[in-house]
Amino acid sequence: MTDASERLFTDAAIRRESLYGSRVEATFSGVLSFMRRRYGRDLAGVDVAVTGLPFDQSVSNRPGARFGPEAIRKASAHHSWGPVWPWGFDPFDTLAVVDYGDCTIDYGDVAGVPAAIAAHVGGILAQGVQTLCLGGDHFTTYPVLKAHAARHGPLALVHFDAHRDFEAQDGARIDHGSMFTRAVAEGLVDPARTVQIGIRTMFTGETGQGVRVIDAAEAHALGPERIAGIIRAVAGDGPAYLTFDIDVLDPSAAPGTGTPVPGGLTSFQALSVLRALRGFDPVGMDVVEVSPPYDHAEMTSNAAAMVAIEMLCLKAWARGARGHEGGAGLTGC
């Protein structure tokens, strides 16, 4: 019989010795880290570094996303051990994941933030480690793309959002509604290999860029497997980046965000699309636009934490992880 001292663990973020596996830790105590992973900047042997980008000075409506990384970490605690449903495996049996902490943001130097984020993420990539970034507003994806494109070349972009974020770009404007216009213009993203899911807004002057848009109505009609099929066909086999703006979810599922738009996907629909993408292996990922001051009962941060976990399950699946039923439980999700 296993006693409590063997089953339970405290402060895994600083006491954990192995990069692999999970331990049971109380959700309401202990040093905060994403999924109770080791907290630190030693990347030896690491596959994925989770890092926060606490910046929200490009928002057009409600602020607060600077508190998103902390809230997502906190919400992740009660998902932090055991197999993930319906995958049937613990991703940390396959992936070595650490919490790398946050990028240092100088709020007195907003113009310098893009370079700071690009350097922060680029430093991780230079060590052969992939990133899962926690925003922060969606502008933060632009410097992250810049760091990834410097390593991989032009990227396919798989983009979940209520907004297209292809508004006209005015010079070096720092805006969470136009950064993908900028990314395409700079050759960071290949528009022919870009797909946007859940869109349900339009703006005067917004450019089409020729990307494939699965708007909210089409997403509701298609279902997860067919959406995943379109994503695979558009993104192709080259390096791809996966970005998930939490406002792709309906405000009933994710009220804590800066620009909520009714008519979005349910959390089950969005998670099911990610599960249907099994075999897809993006070179980088992020979850953005969680604004805890507008959340209720941690609904939004909990949903964002689950999205991030699903992303790690995608990575683990691509590296051979399977559940007891070989992933059969994923069918129809």
Cβ neighbours, 10 Å, residue 262 = 10
Poorest-pLDDT segment among 20-29, 104-113, 195-204, 225-234: 20-29
Q: Is position 172 within any domain?
A: yes
- Sole residue written with tokens 């636009």: 289
Q: Is position 243 within any domain?
A: yes
Q: Each residue of 228-285: pLDDT tens digit?
A: 999 999 999 999 999 999 999 999 999 999 999 999 999 999 999 999 999 999 999 9
Q: Each residue of 205-236: pLDDT tens digit?
A: 667 778 999 999 999 999 999 999 999 999 99
Q: Is position 1 within any domain?
A: no
Q: Is position 118 within any domain?
A: yes
How many domains are there within the chain? 1
- Tell me the Ramachandran region of residue 146: left when phi exceeds 0, alpha when psi lies from -120 to 50, beta otherwise: alpha
**Residues near 322 by Cβ (< 8 Å), separated by ≥ 6?**
88, 89
CB-based burial, 134-165: b 16+ in 10 Å, e otherwise: bbbbbbbbbbbbbbbbeebebbbbbbbbbbbb
Q: Is position 193 within any domain?
A: yes
Q: Is position 65 within any domain?
A: yes
Average pLDDT over residues 277-302: 97
Q: Is the pLDDT of residue 13 over 50?
A: yes
Domain containing residue 259? 8-330
Cβ neighbours, 10 Å, residue 324 = 10
Q: Each residue of 61-93: pLDDT tens digit?
A: 788 899 999 999 999 998 877 899 999 999 999
Q: Is position 306 within any domain?
A: yes
pLDDT for the residue 284:
99
Q: Which tokens sit at 111?
A: 């113009």
Q: Strand runs (DSSP E) across 54-104, as ranges?
A: 97-102
Determine whether 200 is exposed, middle or buried from the number of CB atoms within 10 Å of its CB (0-12, 13-18, 19+). buried
Q: Is position 35 within any domain?
A: yes
Q: Each residue of 146-188: pLDDT tens digit?
A: 999 999 999 999 999 999 876 667 666 766 567 888 999 999 9
> Residue 162 belongs to a domain with what CATH number?
3.40.800.10
What are the angstrom distances between the C-alpha of 206 and each of 169, 190, 202?
9, 17, 7
Q: Each residue of 104-140: pLDDT tens digit?
A: 999 889 889 999 999 999 999 999 999 999 999 999 9
